[in-house]
Structure formats: C-alpha cells, structure tokens
Structure 1
Amino acid sequence: MLRKFLLQASTRRNFSASSSSSVAFFRQCSSSSSSSSQIPNSHFVEHMEDTNETPPSATISIDRTALYNPPEQSHEPSAESELVKHLKNIIKFRGGPVTVAEYMEEVLTNPKLGYYINRDVFGADGDFITSPEVSQMFGEMIGVWAMCLWEQMGRPSKVNLVELGPGRGTLLADFLRGVSKFKNFTDSLHIHMVECSPTLQKLQYRNLKCVTEDSADGNEKKGINSTITVSPVSWHASLEQVPTGLPTIIVAHEFFDALPLHQFQKASRGWCEKMVDVTENSSFRFVLSPQPTPATLYLMKRCKWADSEEIFKLDHIEVCPKAMDLTQEISKRIGIDGGGALIIDYGLNGVVSNSLQAIRKHKFVDILDNPGSADLSAYVDFAAIRHSAEEVSGVSVHGPMTQSQFLGSLGINFRVEALLENCTEEQAESIRTGYWRLVGEGEAPFWEGPDNQTPIGMGTRYMAMAIVMCLLCSVVFPCHVLIINEMLISICEEENVKNIIVRIKNKK
C-alpha cells in the first residue's frame, strides 16, 4: 500500500505541474454542462474537484526486500472489456462526452478491439445474416448488373472491380462464378477488396479461392489471383488506396449502414447533438451537447435538402458526414475514370430519425450495452446520398428503388425458375426461402416450419441506387431486361457464349 501511495503521489505531482490549465478547462466544461438539456432518465457526470493536496517534496528511500508481492492471479478479475475501459478513458481524459459517431467508430473499427476487426460476425453463427449469405442468386444478379455496365462502357480491356466492406467474400464469389463463362469480361477485371479486418481478409481469400504466386526466384510474392476467374485480387484499407486511372465498377452492399453517424435531438434551445458520457456509477448514458458541434454544419446541409414540413415534425435527425463525403469521393472517381457504383442497403429515401440499433446473436440489444459485443448500424439516408452525388459533375444518379424491384429488373425470377427445374425437394425449399428473403415483404406465406424461423422478406426494406457516368444509361431499371435475360442463359445452361454476346449487341 505504501508503494502504491508513493506512486500516486509522484504521478499527481507531475500532472499538477504541467496540466493546471487543463484542469481549469475541465471545470469550465463541468459548470457549463451541468445546466444543459438531457434525454429522460440521464444525468451529466459530475467532474471531480481537485483536492489541492500538497505532494511530498522530499525523496524517500525504501527498502522493499521484506515487502510482500502477491501473485498476479490473486487480483480481482475485471468485468469490463478492454474496449469499455478504452472508451471510458477517452471520455475521462477528454473531460467530457464523445459524439455517437466517435463511439460507433471505436466500437466497430478500433484497430485492436473493434467489433469487425477480429471476428467473423456474419451468418447463422454470427450476429446477423446478409443477402449474399441468404442465396447465391444475390451475387449472381450483381454480376449481371456489373456486366451490363461493362458492355455499356464499350467492353474496356481493363477494369477495377471494387467491393467496399466485402464481408466473407460471399457476394463476390457468387458474382465471379456467375460471369465466369464470359472470358472477355473476367479477363478485364482487377479485383480490389476494401477491408480493414485481418480476420475477414483471410475469409475472403479462402472464399474467392485465392492462390499466391511466387516470383521466378521464389524470394518475392508475385501476386494473388482468384482461381474462380483467374483475376488478380488486392486488399486495401480505404477506397483512396485503390489505384485510379481505369474504369471502375464499385459495389457497396451493407457498407453505408455501418458508417459512423451523428444524432441530433430537438430541445428547447434548438437542435442539440446527442453524446455518449459516463455516469457516476461508471455506466454509459446519452446526454445532449450544451453548444453547437462541428457536425452541426452537416445537419444544416441536410436540412436544406429536405422540405421544412419534413423537418418540423421530427424530434430526432441522423446525419452521416462520412456517407456524404464517401459518396462524393466515389462520384468524382467515376466522373474522371468512368464506370459506375451500386449501393444496396436498408434505408429510406428521406431524412432518417433515430434508427441506430445494436444487434447481437440476431436480436436487438441496447446500444450502450457491452460495446464491442454487438453490431451497430442505422438506416441509410438515400436522399442525402443522392444529393451528395448530384453535386459532382460528370455523373448521373438512378434510384433509389426497392431491392425487390432491382433484382426483379435483373431477371431473378428467370433465375429461380431455372434453379427449380433440376433440384431435390429439400433444395427447392431452400431456393424458395432464399428468394422470398431477397424480394418478399413480411413473413413468407408458404412457410410451414416453426414460427420462430419464418423467413422475413427484405425486398422493400432494402434499397438500391446506381451512380454512373453521364454518358451511360442506368442499368438498374427494366429497360435492359432483354439483355439481362440473355446473360442469365449463360449462367443457367451450357451455351455458346459468343452467340449470346452477338444477340446482346443486336438488342442494344
């Protein structure tokens, strides 16, 4: 105990000499925040007052030879995770709460402790299931869309195919298998996976059936290729790292919903940003900022895009600056290099209000409960994405439309019929269930199994939007069904690919 006291005294002495101005700042924040508005059943943390103790000035020499040093395992175990401690330290040393966006970013993508970084969160054994995990048809339809776009671009010999947040790589694996017979298309592809999780990168490498080739002397790695289509594959931490200069096809499926967002709540003094703070009993709670924050600029921009009546009736608004900025980055790249981007996510074509949610083991849980153990996501504001893209010259925006309309226009009904022709009854049940989840609305009417396993349709909850070069048509809408159906024939049956391409060109 004596040793612990002396260490604390030494630390206090060093801190007080160099941080008196910081303590004054924290006091000022405490006094200003104590009168600010809060959400129901929440209170601001009271900042600790300085005890003004005078640290010992003399140097004390201690003989530690007779002191008892307990073994490490005798210490009481902590119930808090490392991420929880990390978040509380950020709030403590900052002297006040953090934004919801900062909270989300730490929880989801902290380089060491983030939810997505060190685990596989997808599928039945994870926390949620995405459309590619539901049915192979989803990835196949995205492949059809991308090939239509490639045809409209004039069939360039080299194309960057980029997927943002590829998950396990399931979507892209089904995509490549579906278009594998179109040699000219697959030969043009250089695949770029934008993924920050080392764990998911390994799963993507495996599911794309990648191989690493060595150079002739065996000393350096030559490159990584997917054996599904013999296409080169590269991984990047962000879109900025993907090389420019080539026509680019970008796919972002369930990527925008996990981008950090800011929440605002209407109070007596106007719109206040919602923050995450720590209570006296060391639990997390929401509070409201006493003053305008930098994100208020994005709130003002978002409100300008909306009708005043739409804003007036809301008590909460969510804005996602990263989604707006990323959309403009995508649009600028497409406007300069050519190509297009497809964004599919669950969301609304309008202002989003208080949609942030946490999912653990396929169930909704409290957002602040054991951060890092559940996925955090929110509805995507497709109207904000559209407006952000339209601010960039050289591109056109198409949509949003529902996922059901999008997949229907790409010929998914044709694909289902082909799959059902040659399958067992068990396989047919799986195909029908997967199809309903992709395009249906609500509970599947044909389901005869347990009630708690009833397939729920995502067809209207998910939306699709395309951003393409102005010179290109939209390949999201039904005007290209004739072209698309010819492509689907090559997925379903063994036919001469060259003859199919000729017929496609004639129908264009």
Structure 2
Amino acid sequence: MTALSDILARQIALTGPLTVADYMEQCLFHPAHGYYTTREPFGATGDFVTAPEISQMFGELLGLWAAETWLRLGSPAPFVLAELGPGRGTMMADILRATARVAGFHEAARVVLVEASPRLRAKQAETLRAYPVEWVERIEALPPGPLVLLANEFIDALPIRQFVRTPDGIAERMVGLDAAGNLAFGLRPGARLDSRAEARLAVAPPGAVLEICPLGLSVAATLGARLALSGGAALLVDYGHAGGFGDTLQALYRHAFDDVLAHPGQADLTAHVDFAALARAAMGAGARAFGPLPQGALLQRLGLDDRAFRLKRAASEADREMVEAARLRLAGSDEGQMGTLFKALALVHPALKEIAGFAPG
C-alpha cells in the first residue's frame, strides 16, 4: 500500500470505480503523490533510461533531422523549435549542439519547451543554461509561426482507456475495490465508443482489448491543425504499434516490471502508442503523415553508423565499446534493444512531399 493507494481507495468507495485513464492520471500527476511530481524518473538513479540518456547520438541525429526539415521548409525565420516532455533537457542540448554549424538555424530558432512541472523546468534550465529557452505548459500555448517539433517517449505516458470485447458487448475496464478493500480491475458493461472503434471491436475475438488514448489523439489533432495552418513538421518517437488489440498497460518500479495496481504513485505507468490512430487524428486535422517507421531504420537513414564510426575513431578502447553498445541498443532488434520496439511518426504540412528519414509520401 502507498499513500496514494489509500486516497484512491477512499475515492472509489465514495464515488465508484475509476477508468484506467483516471487511475493513470492520479498515479502519474497527483499534486502530492504522483510519480512525475515527486521523483526523478530519468537515468540510472530513476526507473528508466531514455534514448537521449543512452547516447548523445540520438539527440544529435534528431537535431540533424530538425535542421534538414527547416531547410526543406525554406529556412523560415523566425521559426519555433519545440520539444514535448523534454525530461532533463538532454535531447534538446544535443540537438542544439549538433545544429550549431547549420548557417542561420540558431539565429532563426525560437526554442520552446512544453513542460508543466516546475521541478523539471528547473533541471532543463540548468542543462540548457547556454541557450535562450522559453517554456509553455500546453501545446496550444506554443508561439505562432512555422514549427519544428520533436517528442521522445511523451505519448506513452498519457492516460489510456481500455475497452474489452465480451460475449455481452463492449465493456470498459475499470479500477475498483475487491472484497478486502484493495484496488482491483473490473469491467463496466455497456460502454459506447465512436463508430469506427465499435466496428473494430465488433469483429474482434472475445476478450480483445482496445486501448484509446484521448489526450494522445488530441495532441495529434492539435499538431495536425497547427502544421496545416502555419507550416512545419513534428517527429514523434515512442514505443508502440501501427494499430491492433492488446493490454499494453505496464508499470515499472525500481527498474523492474511491476503489478500495475501495486505501487500507485511510486511506479511509472505507460502504454504502447497506437501510431495509426495518431496519424488518422493528425490527417483528419489537415496534416500529412509519414510512418510509423522503426526507430532503428530512422536512425540508420539519418546516419547513425557514420556518427558512431566517427565517435569511435577519436575514442579510447573502453569508450569505443560504449559507443558500439549504445549504437546497438538504439537501433538493434534483439530483446532489450530499441530498434524495432520503438517507432517514429512524422507529421508535416500537407504540401511537404518528402521528409528526412522517411520514404516519399
């Protein structure tokens, strides 16, 4: 039991079961006991290590993607260079270092981080102290103008709802209490979805789980409308799939997988991203979508092997081994590697027919 467990149990006893989305929201963002509001999740001392923390190569290559995209857009000045969920600011620091020699890029860029946490803003400010940086709390608050936006492992932490195909129709998975008063999963029958989702579940096998991320779809639609109106491109990198069924909700506690209900507020909760749904939402708002593409393929196309070779050439033997290990972890397809599990989706202005790293649309 955790402090948040008691709070949630009392809330459920008074008002009834929570949707999975409401449970995730409380676990991750509760003002006093939420995972992201009370602890440092990133790096070796946290519960997970993201790609920018594994190697500078990741942020550098995404920086080159941003610079080439800016050039394809006609080198607008000024433009907004933004990141969603920038963690400790590591990736943006690598992006800015890698693009320092791109003529006019830094002078034209207005760097804006979308971050609501005052604690993380302070860490980002320290990491990026050499650069002029602005912060906003929401995507809708980004300054106007052409936009080049990047996000790594942002959508996976947005709350999801889960719907189950049962013999009696569609039910929503809920978090309630068992006979002993402990948190437990259950089903609420009679759930209603949009016609497309209901049609998908209607032909799914019994027990199939459809996950929907309302905030993720809202982010994609907002980006799609912004890009269609003002020009630009967005690159979303996360672990996920191109549409399908399955219960992907998972908890990570002290660097190990955990029961989702075991440590509310003390464990990280995530779910695999449905990139096909994000692409539909963005295209419905007027943007063009490229991908999803496996992360390994994207990094290879952006020059990962060449960058690793250059780093190894100037490194000690021990550092060369570290660079090679990082290259494999970022782009490999074996268990524990990110190359195929993680995907990349590019959203762009509809007039942009090509984008770095992706096949022409």
When normalised by structure 1's length, the TM-score is 0.68
The 3 A distance-change label for structure 1 pair 277 and 176 is same
Instruction: Say yes or no: does 1:459 pair with 2:326.
Output: no
Amino acid in structure 1 at the alignment position of 2:133: V
Instruction: Say yes or no: does 1:326 pair with 2:226.
Output: no
Give the secondary-structure state (helix, strand or coil) at the position aligned to 2:222: helix
Residue matched to 2:352:
472
Partners of 2:46 and 2:296 in 1: CA distance: 25
Amino acid in structure 2 at the alignment position of 1:277: G
Give the secondary-structure state (helix, strand or coil) at the position aligned to 1:371: coil
Q: Is the 8 A contact 1:410 1:478 kept in 2?
A: no
Instruction: Render the CA deviation track for 1:129-162: whole Å, top value 9, x for unaligned.
Output: 1111111000001101111110011111111111
Residue matched to 1:171:
91
> Where do 1:50-65 residues align within 5 Å?
none
Amino acid in structure 1 at the alignment position of 2:92: L
Partners of 1:252 and 1:237 in 2: CA distance: 15
Partners of 2:246 and 2:164 in 1: CA distance: 9
The correspondence for 2:196, drawn from 298, 301, 306, is 301
Give the secondary-structure state (helix, strand or coil) at the position aligned to 2:31: coil
Residue matched to 1:388:
281
Residue matched to 1:432:
324
When normalised by structure 2's length, the TM-score is 0.95
Structure 1 residue 348 displacement after superposition: 0.6
Structure 1 residue 112 displacement after superposition: 2.8
Instruction: Say yes or no: does 1:277 pair with 2:176.
Output: yes
Instruction: Render the CA deviation track for 1:422-458: whole Å, top value 9, x for unaligned.
Output: 1101110110011001000115xxxxxxxxxxxx311
Structure 1 residue 387 displacement after superposition: 1.3
The 3 A distance-change label for structure 1 pair 151 and 264 is same
Q: Is the 8 A contact 2:282 2:289 kept in 1?
A: yes
Q: How many correspondences in the alignment?
A: 360
Q: Of the two, which has the highest radius of gyration?
A: 1
The correspondence for 2:308, drawn from 416, 423, 447, is 416
Instruction: Give 5+ residue unaligned stretches, structure 2.
Output: none
> Where do 1:248-263 residues align within 5 Å?
248-263=147-162
Q: Is the 8 A contact 1:358 1:377 kept in 2?
A: yes
Structure 1 residue 279 displacement after superposition: 2.5
Structure 1 residue 479 displacement after superposition: 6.7
Give the secondary-structure state (helix, strand or coil) at the position aligned to 1:385: helix
- Name which of structure 1's ranges 283-292 and 402-411 shifts more when overlaid on structure 2: 283-292
Instruction: Give 5+ residue unaligned stretches, structure 1.
Output: 1-79, 211-226, 444-455, 481-508
Instruction: Say yes or no: does 1:340 pair with 2:239.
Output: no
Give the secondary-structure state (helix, strand or coil) at the position aligned to 1:116: helix
Question: Once superposed, what is the RMSD of the aligned Cα atoms?
Answer: 1.8
Structure 1 residue 110 displacement after superposition: 1.8
Runs of 4+ in structure 1 off by over 4 angstroms are 306-309
The 3 A distance-change label for structure 1 pair 102 and 140 is same
Partners of 2:298 and 2:281 in 1: CA distance: 22
Residue matched to 1:16:
none
Partners of 1:194 and 1:86 in 2: CA distance: 29
Partners of 1:138 and 1:334 in 2: CA distance: 24
Partners of 2:359 and 2:19 in 1: CA distance: 45
Residue matched to 2:6:
85
Partners of 1:473 and 1:120 in 2: CA distance: 40
Structure 1 residue 266 displacement after superposition: 2.2
Percent of pairs with identical residues? 37
Residue matched to 2:138:
238
